[in-house]
Structure 1
């Protein structure tokens, strides 16, 4: 037989020793008597039917039991009390019903609260206050406003708790109009002096973006407390008004109010936003926290750590982290985020973030979702595929993969690591696809060159209720530019216009670049002219575009016009100017602009700028000056510099310098095929077949293969690609027949001899007539309308034979042929090229 008290706790589970001793003596005696009777012969299944008629409690006993369940948050205990009332046919008074309602709401069971409310014959303002509080807690904001309105229409006297609950709902939903209406009712009911409502109003106005109204209310209130000050401080932080924040902090200090953890946390959060003087102000707050002894508080410490990390003082952030005694998951997350949010993240910072994860695990701290997101970012930086897989497995174990944010980071991770199959698996595992993972997947496809898949997913995204923003449109448009897909770019422009994004500067800049890179410089110029506020990117894009199309003087004109508009040139603008000078042979102008960069604008010279100058000098025959420039600027370890000089050696048939330069570039990049091919062509052009064959033998010994030439053309919505001698196309018979016809016609032209000048001596190579760009042009001539120009893109520089042949094709077909190679555009028309044979 169980002892009497043990039986009580076993068969009367809603009771606890604490609850039991809260009851009056008579009630405790009744319960003990019931337990004694039950211990004689009844099982647990027989207890409740037995006591329904013999064991009764008074209203005050029920109230105390319900309040105890509310205080401890034990919903099951409260439900057992409620069920006991029902089984004993006890009719609770309104006060007890309100307590039951409050218990259900506080324990998060709004469904049971609704059922109880519907069965209540009477209600008062306490009833509505309990329900409103419960629905605020569950973030069911629409229901809060419905209950508030119902209480008002019933003529119940609204109190501070009713209005405070409704104001909280307005704050969370951003419903300013409803908040103003409640403010008016507060004044009508004479509740304006209640400090709790003043605080709620300050919070509501701040969260609805009207912090100035909050300040007016604050200044005109007679009664304020610490919460009032902190609410206004938080409002200034949320709305980015940092100067006003400093003023209110000074006023608070002058009034003798001590800063607490909430005040310091909010102020330090503002200092993390990098406003003018934020670091100095943050340091002052740090000193004040030390004086108050709050610098070791976990909230203040985390805010300090975050502030130092975001203002570039990573060492100070690490020092704060190391001196903290009681670290929690939030502080670890803040430190990991701080290590990974610097402008240039070093590998050692990423590895330190990974080590913090292991330290967390050893301290028994459970990682959060934010921890895993930081871990994945660290894996992206160090490109550690093996560890990334382990983190992924941990996330699977913890059931985090369905989250769209985590899924998006995983997609980014596998995209960076080049594993699009894994990225697609992560994408498909997300249950509710939104714009975030869709965008991540699109960027992943683009990053790995799977443009058609990216475009297909982008079109699918357009059907979603949540539409893509200007950044996604801009990225897709830039990808169309890189691929030279004019038709797809025009379609995306149409979609952008339809959804109202075409007026964004970031999109217009991408649109300019797309048209320029697709060979339509006229459309690029037209887009630029229609822009209301072109920025430095817009001007730089126009300069570079004109330079690549061979319009050197127009590029220089844009550069000078940009300066006259008060816009200071950046690295890209100067790069465009130097490219223009290089492609047109403007040596003196190019050198002058190059000197201006360093002397007048104090810019650090980049490799790309120096390559342009080396190319400029080399094309002009000043090979010695070009070589000395490389050595003087300290770029002798950059292969691209020597390769530019090697190209100039080929133009001027300088085999002696070419051999020496080729040796340097091959030492720097022993497996790069471009240098070997250049040297081979130099020897062949000079007629030194023996030296050329040695280069070919060396390539075979080192197993170096020449990068195959690839050309592509867009017809309608499809892109067709060709390689030299390609017969994979289903209509290859027609394509080759058309190309042979065009080649035969060119030989009969009277101007052919003048254009060709001479045939390449190593024309015995059988593929010379079937290079990829010739096949692409023939395909375009067959399937494009006669009025449309033929636009072809190529991954390598166009060869001399193809360049001369394209001139003849433009005469034969009486149409413009546009070829974009790896260096520039060539517009062939009426037997001439826009490059002026200078490429």
Structure 2
């Protein structure tokens, strides 16, 4: 029956068949029966050929056209059919409406699906199922759950598909509570035996970190299929329970079920995690894949080579890669990543990865963003920076520079090249600034000594939607440690407590170092004592911390306790022990530990270890032995060794040895100011002004400038820095007045000279330039602004001079304050006129 107001649609026959791909299967007579032409309204140049057809479709025809659009995913075709229904006043039945709704959902037009749903007078359960599935498809999980609850309120009989949708939503959102509610509803509705729902429940519990619940459900289910087994295997893989995964895999094999590529891929991924016995299981699975004839499958082959690469069998991974016939970009990426996953990448592996890239290009395989990320890592490993820049150009050409992982590697590259500006430019080009590129930028700033920039970026991160992890928090604590920013470090510790990261070992290790480097050794020791499972880094850090604060006996006690706990000392632990012996003059103990490191622990001594021993012998006056050690160990080309000996020459006023040693170190480092300054001071201490002036003249001729002394102090939430004679601070008059007041009071202490162990005359305090050294200005500022009960903590970039060391002891008496000063080598705790170093520094 024709509608009361028939609508006439004029178009060409060719146009009809192109818009509706199902139409050619109909008879020509049917097409001509429902089409009419509107060619007269179009210009003669717009239509060809001039057919005039009028058509009206039946419900079955509409259904076929809508289902065709759904199958092909062609939203435009589906909209044309729907538009024709509206314009011809066709009233679709519920079945056709459901097909239309399903088409919109499958094609991703959820807005149109919503409008259609709202106009449907009596939607049934199939209608709800389609729209719930559409919401889940685009990630609108909350609306999917609301629609599910609406279906329940309308009293519709729920089926397995209605319940499967909300379970998928709970899986993706991690909403365990809602998932359990749906599970209960399934049981009440009598749908518990449906294998589809069993599989969805296993997936939901696994993704909500309740894999034990998933296993219980699996064990008590009556109907299981291959998907059930695979879902449980995937759940074990997601939750890191790899041994249980392999156990269920063996049971699946024993049950006679066919292992497919998905199952074997999950199992091999578990073996890639390198747990105890993972390589043995992986080899067994490799044999099983060969037996099943799946070893040449791309998915399984990729998983196999990844497993071998991550378990240390790189040669086996390469062999599998070479055997594969049909290699795709994923396999190439896996092989490149396997070659570059070592902590220290070997040159041969890096070059192999570079060759794989050229092989991909020759085979016509288009590289992905993961390919370029690995390529950049290979370039960095072999220091081929020119090719790395060319790779960057390729990345920009392919529009991948905004990817977070590629951007992170580019940031590492340009920081390595020393170009902070280019690194920052790469950082700004990343659209989705996640924790990965932000961490790379912060680490880069720290490597370049840009601690304030690192902290500023961290605070910017806190104000964004991204949340820092334990790695970035431990990294930023290192910035606070280097800056000596105790208050900022404490605030970061409080934040870590709030988000539940403070118990991570990596964070606690950084926390120990932050407290120690900021002068609060008590809190550093307390943090270590509260650790549940300290690792070798924890022990090494607490040993080095006590050593730098002059607590040599405590450092050696920690070292012995570490060995009694069965933890093998590393290079850093021995370095801490040697520093402790050097700072306390424990010569025999230091030499014994040095010999133990080489003989009992089979460790190769590094330059820093040997420099500590040279410093130890030199301070004890054994200059000849120290020089012999340098030559015997083959470190005569290391400036740090000779500089340590030169410092010892100054202590013992050995000008003849100092001149020879200084010539050696100046020859090795002709532009380093520290050696010239040391020699100059040695001559001045010995009263040899003529030679001292010659050293100064040599520095002027070579245009070598002494590094300026810089001291800084944290007060409130700011860090204030000072240089010698600095008057740039807004309160400089107040600072200088306080300092002059304290210096004047020191002259009155000569009556108590015998009460304290003073080793220099107070008259040296009258030198005007020395009076205003940077550390004195910082201490005066701290005494003015800090509470009386708070210790004054000052950091300095150079070693403290003899005059300032004496002044600090006197200031601690006058002001009745503890003064903690960190110089470039160690800590000095001044209290009641004495220093923790015992004047042995």
Shorter-chain TM range is 0.7 to 0.9
Contact 2:347 2:381 in 1 (8 A): yes
Q: How does 1:608-647 map to 2 (within 5 A)?
A: 608-647=608-647
Alignment CA distance shift 1:785-1:177 (3 Å): closer
Residue 584 of structure 1, CA deviation: 0.9
Deviations, residues 792-833 of structure 1 (Å, cap 9, x unaligned)? 221122233333344344445554433211111122344432
Alignment CA distance shift 1:836-1:372 (3 Å): same
Q: How does 1:269-288 map to 2 (within 5 A)?
A: 269-288=269-288
SS in 1 for 2:794: strand
Instruction: Give the aligned partner of residue 551 of structure 2.
Output: 551
Alignment CA distance shift 1:292-1:86 (3 Å): same
Contact 2:810 2:833 in 1 (8 A): yes
SS in 2 for 1:755: coil
Residue 393 of structure 1, CA deviation: 5.6
Alignment CA distance shift 1:170-1:830 (3 Å): closer
Contact 1:133 1:165 in 2 (8 A): yes
Residue 243 of structure 1, CA deviation: 1.8
Residue 472 of structure 1, CA deviation: 3.8
Instruction: Give the aligned partner of residue 20 of structure 1.
Output: 23
Instruction: Give the aligned partner of residue 799 of structure 2.
Output: 797
Instruction: Give the whole-Å Cα distance in 2 for the aligned partners of 1:213 and 1:811.
Output: 67
Contact 1:711 1:792 in 2 (8 A): yes
Instruction: Give the whole-Å Cα distance in 1 for the aligned partners of 2:230 and 2:557.
Output: 56
Greater shift, 402-411 or 284-293, is seen at 402-411
Residue number among 831, 834, 838 corresponding to 1:832 in the alignment: 834
Instruction: Give the whole-Å Cα distance in 1 for the aligned partners of 2:152 and 2:651.
Output: 89
Instruction: Give the aligned partner of residue 340 of structure 1.
Output: 340
Which blocks of at least 5 consecutive residues in structure 1 are unaligned? 1-5
Deviations, residues 380-424 of structure 1 (Å, cap 9, x unaligned)? 656776666665565556555666565555555545544444444
Alignment CA distance shift 1:131-1:641 (3 Å): same
Contact 1:477 1:510 in 2 (8 A): yes
Residue 773 of structure 1, CA deviation: 2.6
Residue 361 of structure 1, CA deviation: 5.0
Q: How does 1:40-189 map to 2 (within 5 A)?
A: 54-189=54-189
Alignment CA distance shift 1:286-1:508 (3 Å): closer
Instruction: Give the aligned partner of residue 572 of structure 1.
Output: 572
Instruction: Give the aligned partner of residue 7 of structure 2.
Output: none
Instruction: Give the whole-Å Cα distance in 1 for the aligned partners of 2:366 and 2:192.
Output: 45
Instruction: Give the aligned partner of residue 316 of structure 2.
Output: 316
Instruction: Give the whole-Å Cα distance in 1 for the aligned partners of 2:40 and 2:610.
Output: 100
Greater shift, 521-530 or 384-393, is seen at 384-393
SS in 2 for 1:331: helix
Cα RMSD of the aligned pairs, angstroms, is: 4.0
Alignment CA distance shift 1:296-1:835 (3 Å): same
Q: How does 1:658-673 map to 2 (within 5 A)?
A: 658-673=658-673
Instruction: Give the whole-Å Cα distance in 1 for the aligned partners of 2:429 and 2:821.
Output: 43
Instruction: Give the aligned partner of residue 14 of structure 2.
Output: 9
Residue 675 of structure 1, CA deviation: 3.0
Greater shift, 348-357 or 129-138, is seen at 348-357
Alignment CA distance shift 1:576-1:159 (3 Å): same
Alignment CA distance shift 1:315-1:7 (3 Å): farther
Instruction: Give the whole-Å Cα distance in 2 for the aligned partners of 1:154 and 1:734.
Output: 79
SS in 2 for 1:54: coil
Residue number among 758, 770, 780 corresponding to 1:755 in the alignment: 758
Instruction: Give the whole-Å Cα distance in 1 for the aligned partners of 2:752 and 2:594.
Output: 40
Contact 2:20 2:77 in 1 (8 A): yes
Alignment CA distance shift 1:619-1:628 (3 Å): same
Instruction: Give the whole-Å Cα distance in 1 for the aligned partners of 2:491 and 2:216.
Output: 51
SS in 2 for 1:253: helix
SS in 2 for 1:295: coil
SS in 2 for 1:229: helix
Instruction: Give the whole-Å Cα distance in 2 for the aligned partners of 1:718 and 1:96.
Output: 70
Instruction: Give the whole-Å Cα distance in 1 for the aligned partners of 2:669 and 2:453.
Output: 34
Contact 2:12 2:47 in 1 (8 A): no
Contact 1:312 1:342 in 2 (8 A): no
Residue 274 of structure 1, CA deviation: 0.9
Instruction: Give the whole-Å Cα distance in 1 for the aligned partners of 2:714 and 2:322.
Output: 59
Deviations, residues 249-296 of structure 1 (Å, cap 9, x unaligned)? 323333444432212211111111111122232233333334444333
Residue 694 of structure 1, CA deviation: 5.1
Residue 104 of structure 1, CA deviation: 1.7
Instruction: Give the whole-Å Cα distance in 1 for the aligned partners of 2:181 and 2:816.
Output: 74
Residue 55 of structure 1, CA deviation: 0.9
Alignment CA distance shift 1:339-1:672 (3 Å): farther
SS in 2 for 1:91: coil
SS in 1 for 2:19: coil
Contact 2:12 2:51 in 1 (8 A): no
Which blocks of at least 5 consecutive residues in structure 2 are unaligned? 1-10
Residue 683 of structure 1, CA deviation: 4.2
* TM-score, with length taken from structure 2: 0.86
Instruction: Give the aligned partner of residue 254 of structure 2.
Output: 254
Deviations, residues 118-177 of structure 1 (Å, cap 9, x unaligned)? 222343333333323333322332333333333344444433333333333333233334
Greater shift, 225-234 or 520-529, is seen at 520-529
SS in 2 for 1:712: strand
Residue 755 of structure 1, CA deviation: 3.2
Deviations, residues 750-783 of structure 1 (Å, cap 9, x unaligned)? 466983547999x999844443333433444455
Residue 469 of structure 1, CA deviation: 4.1
Instruction: Give the whole-Å Cα distance in 1 for the aligned partners of 2:502 and 2:243.
Output: 36
Q: How does 1:674-689 map to 2 (within 5 A)?
A: 674-687=674-687
SS in 2 for 1:79: helix
Deviations, residues 315-367 of structure 1 (Å, cap 9, x unaligned)? 43344344444333323332333333212124564565456555545555444
Contact 1:416 1:447 in 2 (8 A): no
Alignment CA distance shift 1:91-1:793 (3 Å): same
Contact 2:167 2:179 in 1 (8 A): yes
Alignment CA distance shift 1:643-1:141 (3 Å): same
Contact 2:125 2:151 in 1 (8 A): yes
Contact 1:376 1:410 in 2 (8 A): yes
Deviations, residues 607-636 of structure 1 (Å, cap 9, x unaligned)? 333322222222222334334444444544
* TM-score, with length taken from structure 1: 0.86
Instruction: Give the whole-Å Cα distance in 2 for the aligned partners of 1:766 and 1:383.
Output: 51
Instruction: Give the aligned partner of residue 230 of structure 1.
Output: 230
Residue 92 of structure 1, CA deviation: 2.2
Contact 1:350 1:381 in 2 (8 A): yes
Contact 1:752 1:808 in 2 (8 A): no
Instruction: Give the whole-Å Cα distance in 2 for the aligned partners of 1:476 and 1:87.
Output: 65
Instruction: Give the whole-Å Cα distance in 2 for the aligned partners of 1:657 and 1:461.
Output: 54
Q: How does 1:504-515 map to 2 (within 5 A)?
A: 505-515=505-515
SS in 1 for 2:758: helix
Instruction: Give the whole-Å Cα distance in 2 for the aligned partners of 1:773 and 1:175.
Output: 57
Instruction: Give the aligned partner of residue 3 of structure 1.
Output: none
Residue number among 770, 774, 777 corresponding to 2:776 in the alignment: 774
Residue 585 of structure 1, CA deviation: 0.9
Contact 2:12 2:52 in 1 (8 A): no
Instruction: Give the aligned partner of residue 6 of structure 2.
Output: none
